[in-house]
A and B are shown apart, each in its own frame.
Chain A
Amino acid sequence: MSVTIPPVVEMEHISKSFPGVKALDDVRFSVFPGEVHVLLGENGAGKSTLMKILSGVYTKDSGEIRIAGDPVELHNVKDAMHQGIRIIYQELNLLNNLTVAENIFIGEEPRTRGIIDWKKMFTESQKLLDGLNLSIDAHQKVSELPVGQQQMVEVAHAVSKEAKVIVMDEPTSALSSKEIKELFTTIRKLQKRGVGVVYISHRLEELLEIGDRVTVFRDGQYIGTRNVREEDGSIKIQLNDLITMMVGRSLDQQFPKVKFTPGEETLRIENLQTEEKLRGCSLSIRKGEILGLAGLMGAGRTELARAVIGADRITGGSVYRGGKRLRIRNPGDAIAQGIGYLPEDRKLHGLVLELDVAKNITLTGIKRIISAFCLSLKKERKEALNLVGELRIKTPSISQQVRYLSGGNQQKVVVAKWLFANSDILIFDEPTRGIDVGAKVEIYRLLNTLVEAGKTVMIISSELPEILGMCDRIAVMREGNIVKEFLRADATQDAILKYAIGAEA
């Protein structure tokens, strides 16, 4: 790479705060034309925040952004688009019931005398798709395409508007290994056209394959930038260095795992099936242990949890508790059996944001505060205050709407809710997603406390370090099946990943 060309994007001394959190603290970042620059860091490190500033979604508190050497102010998404900056989010932003061509040209449909020129739109889109070597028909509806191809439509959409820089936020999280290869081929094509690519990921193996440079963020701070390859193209970077840069401390400190002796079996799942996803899953969990459920996004982990608690209909199989077969037809039945599910998306599925802390806590176990057909608000306050103190939930009062709490404290409210409902089997789906690194450790300590108190805990997580750090036993799911179980001692990141992507044997 020639150094004389100015970077297409330079960001310097960027800071950004949200209420209660300093998301970015004086960070810098740059991209050269034709470069793939990987932005690496754990959840909450500030990667996405920086990219949202670059794409105009957030405005920076301070710092400078230069595009092709000229300082710019990006006030909104339009400004950023105007500068040739495109972002492809983890969650795809496509209109599923429109055709590929319509999606590519959305908002900028070719027109002759005010009327949409459909023919031109379809031929231009097809040309664009063919130019990227994608075997996608521009006439097809987006909903008919597999996820991987939908992602390519996003890429084509981004490229259609003279993009100088394309930001991809965890583009591979929902893709199969074959689809990932196709994506990489497309990225290389973009590189040849001189487009700068920012690639956000926390998967180290992808970085070796596609990256030119890598920058690491941690807790909203810039840690460092490294070249991935030597001049001759051989891999230069040491993965261990990167991990140290990302984590900044040893695994023991980050995961305060306490070991207990496992007791009797509390929950057994046999041959569980659903129409959509599960192809016969069996599992057994014992008291005093933490079971981890690993796998790629879409492997069926969340679906397994939802099937167990009766949120989705099961088409076969059964759930046993202490040897007794359970009839669970809806979440209410599961709650009555002491099974609690703490969903991945707390705001959408775990909390009622309009209600205050106390009311969220008592929602599931509301029977406990009823006497003579009425709610005892006095008892509600007392119980809620107890749990708020016990779990050290930071809130100005229990009458505070949960919408104003931080992610970590919201998660604690969800935990409090299930404790109040007297659940003793707790299934955590991505327990630390969107939570500050510091607060994560607190959640892990909480998991220990729960196990110590005799609860049974299962964790669904996409973060392998978390699974490896906290779980006694690890089950790996792929395509609706449980394909492998590991004991903590035998599990490694590599081995789990191999089973998760189907590359074992």
Chain B
Amino acid sequence: MQSGLKPEQEEKESLNNIQQKIQNSPETLNREGADREGADREGADREEMEPGFGMRLRRALGKVESIYTLIGLLLMCIVLSFMHPAFLSMRNFSNIFLQASINGILAIGITFVIISSGIDLSVGSILALSGIVTGNALSGGMPLAAAVIFGMLTGGACGLFNGLIITRFNMPPFIVTLGTMSIARGLALLSTNGGQIYGFDAKFLFIGQGKIAGVPMPVVILILLALLSSFILKYTRFGRYCYALGGNMETARLSGISPTLYLTLIYTLSGVTAGVAGIVLASRLSSAQPIAGISYELYAIAAAVIGGTSLAGGTGTVFGTIIGALIISVIRNGMNLLNVNSFLQQVVIGSVIILAVMIDSFRKRNRS
């Protein structure tokens, strides 16, 4: 790194870069084009260097992993706005984001796991357990900040448990997290004897029900977590290692990356985000429920997959995942506005998941 830049400056610059990556404007590509000219002293790929506008646009679009998902989301919004006048209202949009926030927070953690070619089925149950633990702590008189941290640590501990069992005993993540899904749910039910915890004070309720500058707090938390995790994935060693481990575990190991350490960290992280989701949900509902978040793991996985994170590992972005969560939310919201039968909604959402993965696999086949 050049000595002239101060760390803060560097960081700000990096954050700008994220935004650039998220939008992935043609300018970014042009810069790459310039670099390419430098690399290509032999001029092996002349035609590659001066692409026409259409070609460049197509390449720019192709480079954004989740561009088709984004287009899909926009199309959906356009269609729905014609079908129902209330759809485009500010209030409804705020609603959609609010609905997407819990799923989105869970899906961020899951994205890390899936990028590293794992799976985490336990997040829905961890969400419930963390909510209960936080609720218990609050009603036991623990200060707000401590209770929230305690709840997050509970989630982290569950994730750590997943990670340690998976790496130390070399067990398939599917099975281990399936087990944890039941264990965490059981613990949540045990600790309240099946009942729920309520009667929180206003400060705690602000987390799920408050607003900052008109934006609901859960959405603020989602956006902050999304920015932070995008940054981690792109600009930290940990993030890079997630891709490397998911792309090729053995290459990563031979390159000096410890799968044991990093996979454990990844599952722990997924546990922590589930913990955050649990706290936000408890606050939003004004009650911590041991049966909260049942089958949420599936929607979180769906959000990641719709957003272009491949279950084979090695690819994926948090941006895509957020789009995926929004798509699920928009479909739900739209169908509610149009009075579609809620049972039918399940059928539609399931079909969208399959469609999204199909489109993705077609794209991959076309590329190769």
Contacts and interface: CB of A to CB of B under 8 A. Distances in A.
B243 A354 contact: yes
Interface stretch (A1-9, A363-371, A461-469): A363-371
B346 to A, nearest CB: 33
Contacts of A381: 35
18 contacts: A348-B251, A352-B248, A352-B314, A354-B248, A355-B244, A363-B255, A366-B240, A370-B237, A371-B7, A372-B11, A374-B11, A375-B237, A377-B14, A379-B1, A385-B39, A389-B38, A394-B44, A397-B36
A399 interface: yes
B23 interface: no
Nearest to A364: B255
A374 B240 CA distance: 11
B55 to A, nearest CB: 13
Interface in A363-406: 363-364, 366-367, 370-379, 381, 385, 388-389, 392, 394-399, 403
A394 B251 contact: no
B10 interface: yes
B201 interface: no
A330 interface: yes
A450 B242 CA distance: 31
Given A311-B254, A352-B248, A373 B236 contact: yes
Given A332-B256, A348-B250, 19 more contacts: A335-B255, A348-B248, A349-B254, A354-B243, A354-B247, A354-B314, A354-B315, A363-B240, A363-B251, A364-B256, A371-B1, A372-B11, A375-B234, A377-B235, A388-B39, A396-B45, A396-B48, A397-B36, A403-B368
A331 interface: yes
A417 interface: yes
A38 B43 CA distance: 41
Interface in B2-60: 7, 10-11, 14, 17, 32-33, 35-36, 38-42, 44-45, 48
A332 B258 contact: yes
B189 interface: no
B247 A352 contact: yes
Nearest to A367: B237
B33 to A, nearest CB: 8
B249 to A, nearest CB: 10
A232 B45 CA distance: 57
Contacts of A334: 256
Contacts of B35: 381, 385, 397-398
A110 interface: no
Contacts of B252: 352, 363
Nearest to A363: B255
Contact of B39 (A367, A371, A374, A398): A398
Nearest to A345: B250
A351 interface: yes
Contacts, number: 118
Contacts of A399: 32
B253 interface: yes
Contacts of B254: 309, 311, 331, 341, 343, 349-350
A343 B248 CA distance: 14
Contact of B251 (A349, A367, A379, A396): A349
Size category of the binding interface on chain B: 35 or more
Nearest to B312: A354
- Most A CB contacts (10 A, CB to CB) among B14, B246, B247, B251 go to B251
Nearest to A384: B39
Nearest to A352: B247
B256 A371 contact: no
Given A350-B251, A364-B255, A397-B35, A372 B10 contact: yes
Given A374-B11, A374-B236, A331 B39 contact: no
A343 B39 CA distance: 26
A491 interface: no
Contacts of B36: 396-398
Contact of B42 (A351, A364, A366, A394): A394
B236 A385 contact: no
Contacts of A392: 42
B256 A377 contact: no
A372 B237 CA distance: 11
Contacts of A378: 1
Contacts of B1: 371, 376, 378-379
A473 interface: no
Q: Which of B35, B39, B315 has the most CB of A within 10 A?
A: B39
Given A349-B251, A350-B251, A389-B39, A374 B244 contact: no
A317 to B, nearest CB: 21
Contacts of B237: 366-367, 370, 375
Nearest to B260: A330
A241 B258 CA distance: 52
A359 interface: yes
Contacts of B251: 348-352, 363
Nearest to B239: A375
A400 to B, nearest CB: 9
Nearest to A375: B235
Nearest to B245: A352
A99 B252 CA distance: 36
B170 to A, nearest CB: 14
Contacts of A330: 253, 256, 258
B262 to A, nearest CB: 12
Contact of A331 (B33, B42, B256): B256
A334 B256 CA distance: 8
B58 to A, nearest CB: 15
B244 A363 contact: yes
A258 interface: no
Contacts of A366: 237, 240
A70 B257 CA distance: 57
A331 B236 contact: no
Contact of B38 (A364, A379, A385): A385
Contacts of B314: 352, 354-355
A353 interface: yes
Nearest to B232: A374
Contacts of A398: 35-36, 39
Contacts of B248: 348-349, 351-354
B12 to A, nearest CB: 12
B62 to A, nearest CB: 12
B235 A374 contact: yes
Contacts of A367: 237
A1 to B, nearest CB: 45
